[in-house]
């Protein structure tokens, strides 16, 4: 029986490319997002290349909390198991604090953190019932430090999801489930996607979607605890971002 992987936010960008690459590795796929027409097109594309691949799709808005539980359990029933869940769905919008755009910051906070929390709850219900599974949380290099301007709320949510995963890993440590339920946090740098369109022209560090996701997939397959992806230059940048004096940090970001 093929391994199964559930990917949220799979209709475009990193989620869609992860689906392609995991499909090529032989995984059966559970794909969900709000834009079902894109999911259907992606399913046709993947099954056109790999005719024996099972690809289940469902419409899902992660802010519809009961629907998240229904979707995750439904996928588990349909595919027989969930070996991995990738918490990927998120928003990149935001505004400077105190400039009248609380609505944008609230939407990002609810989608990126509360939405990640409900996905983690649903995934862990499945994993605890199976007594096995691999949870993958997609954070961001911006989680390394508080970010200024329109990035402030986004970075805070990504730090939050990383801590959520770390707390879960700490809980499982030393228990009989430690080796049966694995937790990975990915910290992507600049990888070409719809979310990064605004910064694409302003940085030479942008990786292609295929290359960036290949690094993500490799880290997931190794079931590492944490990974900055792609590793160059982000693994070296991480301690600098964490510990640089504020004047230097501001120049870097």
Residues with catalytic annotation? 154
> Across the chain, how many H-helices and E-strands are there?
9, 7
185 pairs with which residues across the strands?
A: 137, 226
Buried b (16+ CB within 10 A) or exposed e, 56-75: bbbebebeebebbbebbeeb
Cβ within 8 Å of residue 251, ≥6 positions away: none
Which residue shows structure tokens 């862990």?
Answer: 124
Please give the radius of gyration of the chain, using alpha carbons only, rounded to the nearest integer.
Answer: 18
- CA-closest candidate to residue 87, choices 118, 131, 125, 41: 118
Exposure on the CB side of residue 56, measured as CA atoms within 13 A: 20
H or E element at residue 220? helix 209-222
- Neighbouring residues of 83: CB distance < 8 A, sequence distance ≥ 6: 3, 4, 5, 27, 132, 133, 134
Q: Which two tokens stand for residue 68?
A: 């998240």
Strand order in the sheet with 226-229: 55-59, 28-33, 4-8, 84-87, 133-138, 181-188, 226-229
């Amino acid at each position: 029986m093929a391994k199964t992987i559930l990917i949220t936010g799979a209709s475009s960008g990193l989620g869609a490319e992860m689906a392609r690459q995991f499909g090529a590795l032989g995984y059966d796929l559970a794909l969900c997002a709000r834009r079902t027409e894109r999911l259907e097109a992606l399913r046709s594309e993947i099954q056109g290349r790999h005719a024996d691949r099972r690809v289940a799709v469902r419409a899902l808005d992660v802010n519809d909390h009961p629907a998240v539980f229904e979707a995750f359990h439904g996928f588990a029933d349909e595919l027989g198991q969930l070996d991995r869940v990738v918490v990927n769905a998120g928003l990149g919008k935001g505004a400077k604090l105190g400039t009248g755009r609380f609505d944008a910051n609230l939407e990002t906070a609810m989608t990126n953190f509360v939405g990640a929390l409900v996905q983690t709850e649903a995934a862990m219900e499945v994993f605890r019932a199976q007594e096995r599974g691999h949870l993958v949380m997609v954070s961001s290099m911006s989680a390394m430090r508080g970010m200024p301007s329109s990035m402030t709320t986004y970075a805070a949510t990504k730090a939050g999801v990383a801590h959520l995963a770390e707390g879960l890993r700490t809980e499982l440590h030393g228990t009989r489930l430690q080796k049966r339920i694995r937790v990975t946090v990915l910290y992507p740098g600049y990888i070409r996607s719809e979310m990064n369109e605004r910064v694409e022209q302003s940085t030479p560090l942008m990786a292609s979607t295929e290359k960036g996701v290949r690094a993500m997939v490799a880290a997931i397959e190794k079931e590492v605890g944490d990974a900055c992806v792609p590793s160059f230059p982000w693994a070296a940048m991480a301690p600098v971002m964490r510990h640089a004096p504020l004047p230097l940090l501001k120049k870097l970001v």
